[in-house]
Amino acid sequence: MKVLLVEDNRRLVDALVRGLAEEQVEVTAAHDGGAALVEVRRGDADVVILDLGLPDLDGVDVLRRLRAEGRAVPVLVLTARDAVEARVDALEAGADDYLVKPFAFAELLARLRALARRAAAPRWASLDAGPLVLEPDLTLRIGTRRVALSPREHALLGYLLRRRGEVVPRADIHREVFDYGFDPGTNVVDVHLAHLRKKLAGAPVTIETIRGAGIRLALTEGAT
């Protein structure tokens, strides 16, 4: 696995480069947003670790630019504990996951591996669910309307569509959609669900959160 680490704190960079090297992860470091864009455009990285607080460009701006260029490399964002808004902005800008500083190295490693595995998995064929057709190219067709989805939204919606009508436990979503063998202890699923609900507004489908049980997607208005 090749990782691009974008972080301006040199001590953290040194510690992570050492730790990751022991796990046979190859790391390239960039210390500011400009250098990060240059490195991402090289296209070598399997996963990008992106600190949001950078000396030049904001991490979220870096992310927006690379997604606007159509770069789909998985991005794990590092944020400060109190930066809730920045975290939500980052997910909206196309981050796949986030970790709050300070974090345990083992958790960073597990998430990196999950992102790399997910990115390497073959894309699904189109999935036909009544009036909804989920295309493998990250779009959802609702009748004649086309909605662009992020890779995570696409994976999450695909999984819920396959299990439509069922109350899907969160643990199943963590494992099957996010590749976590553990409870990530964050609201990352809820943030992605909120985005999906927004994008599905007006479509004949509901996604309910059932407290303590899980998530249920149902098609409505006689759709099958």
**Helix pair 84-92, 188-199: axis angle to 10 deg:** 50
Given a contact cutoff of 8 angstroms between Cβ atoms, the answer to whether 206 and 167 are in contact is no
Instruction: State which of residues 53, 131, 204, 214 lies at the interface with Ca ion (CB under 5 A).
Output: 53
- Cβ nearer to Ca ion, comparing 60 with 177: 60
Stretch that binds Ca ion, among 48-56, 65-73, 93-101, 146-154 (CB under 5 A): 48-56
**Minimal CA–CA distance to 5: which of 85, 87, 109?**
109
Q: Name residue, tokens 């730790």.
A: 19
Residue 144: exposed, middle, or buried by beta-carbon count in 10 A (0-12, 13-18, 19+)?
exposed
Minimum distance, C-beta of residue 12 to Ca ion, in the bound complex (Å): 8
CA contacts within 13 A on the Cβ side of 195: 24
Minimum distance, C-beta of residue 21 to Ca ion, in the bound complex (Å): 21
Minimum distance, C-beta of residue 101 to Ca ion, in the bound complex (Å): 9
Stretch that binds Ca ion, among 46-54, 105-113, 118-126, 135-143 (CB under 5 A): 46-54
- Cβ nearer to Ca ion, comparing 19 with 53: 53
Of residues 122-181, those binding Ca ion (CB under 5 A): none
Could you count the other beta carbons within 10 Å of the beta carbon of residue 45? 24
Closest residue by beta carbon to Ca ion: 53
User: Applying CB under 5 A, does 51 fall inside the site for Ca ion?
Assistant: yes
Given a contact cutoff of 8 angstroms between Cβ atoms, the answer to whether 95 and 76 are in contact is yes
Minimum distance, C-beta of residue 125 to Ca ion, in the bound complex (Å): 41
User: Applying CB under 5 A, does 8 fall inside the site for Ca ion?
Assistant: yes
Residues engaged in binding Ca ion (CB under 5 A): 8, 51, 53
